[in-house]
Amino acid sequence: MASITSKLYFHIIKRNNDEFKLAGISENKETWYVLPEEMKDLSLHEALSTKRAIINTINSIKPINGYCKICIKLDDELRKEYYDKDENLCFLDNMWFFNDYALAKENLCLEIEMSRINMIVMGLPVEIQNQLDREEITTIEKLSKELTKIDECVSNIKPKYDNKFLSNEISYNTDVKTKQLYQHRDMKM
């Protein structure tokens, strides 16, 4: 299939720290092509990884451990890297078809995982949220480990004072005046 397109779509996913993967390439967003595993590392695609649009995309998905599909206008450098002399989209003389279904499922799995993590973290007290490193927590398991560490630290802290008002020494059905008298009496002793 000879290319008459003037742009390509790239599906970029953040994997670990500063590792980005080129998950798919398309001419029309309907049929996606995938590179062999050894060619998915975005840093291997020099012509692509130096484009301003790709750099901006990397910077935008880096803090959220996300992904992005981006459209880039073809220039001679990109055309030379991704097309053969007959204008066929190819990668090292091999065409790799990537089912749009599989690509959509991978995106969905990433979205669901990050949504689950975000929903859990949003329900935590702000002090706990501030102790979590968003860049490091990319899975529920990592979140669970971090929360366990925080739990262990918090459970080792002893209260600084005894509050008899909230303790079991005064029954909860006692009226407020009686509780105040009880506390006042204890302060004098």
pLDDT tens series, the chain, 189 aa: 445 678 999 999 888 777 898 888 888 888 888 777 888 889 889 889 889 999 998 888 888 878 888 999 988 888 888 887 888 777 644 544 455 556 666 777 777 777 788 888 888 888 888 888 877 887 888 888 988 888 877 666 655 555 555 555 545 554 555 545 555 555 555
For 77, phi then psi, to 5°, come to -65, -45
92: left (phi over 0), alpha (psi -120 to 50) or beta: left
Instruction: Give yes or no: residues 61 and 44 share one domain.
Output: yes
pLDDT computed for residue 71 by the predictor:
92
Whether 188 is in a domain gets the answer: no
Instruction: Give yes or no: residues 18 and 46 share one domain.
Output: yes
Instruction: Give yes or no: residues 71 and 150 share one domain.
Output: no
Instruction: Give yes or no: residues 60 and 142 share one domain.
Output: no
Tell which of 65, 99, 115 closes a domain.
Answer: 115
Instruction: Give yes or no: residues 82 and 145 share one domain.
Output: no
Alpha helices by DSSP H, 4-159: 46-49, 52-61, 76-82, 100-122, 126-131, 140-155
Instruction: Give yes or no: residues 108 and 45 share one domain.
Output: yes
Under 8 Å between Cβ of 136 and 64: no
How many structural domains comprise the chain?
Answer: 2
Task: State which residues form the domain around 88.
Answer: 7-115
Instruction: Give yes or no: residues 51 and 129 share one domain.
Output: no
The DSSP symbol for 22 reads: E
Can you tell me which residue has the tokens 């706990």?
Answer: 128
Characterize the bridge pairing of strands 7-14 and 67-73. Answer: antiparallel
Interval 58-110: pLDDT, tens: 888 888 878 888 999 988 888 888 887 888 777 644 544 455 556 666 777 77
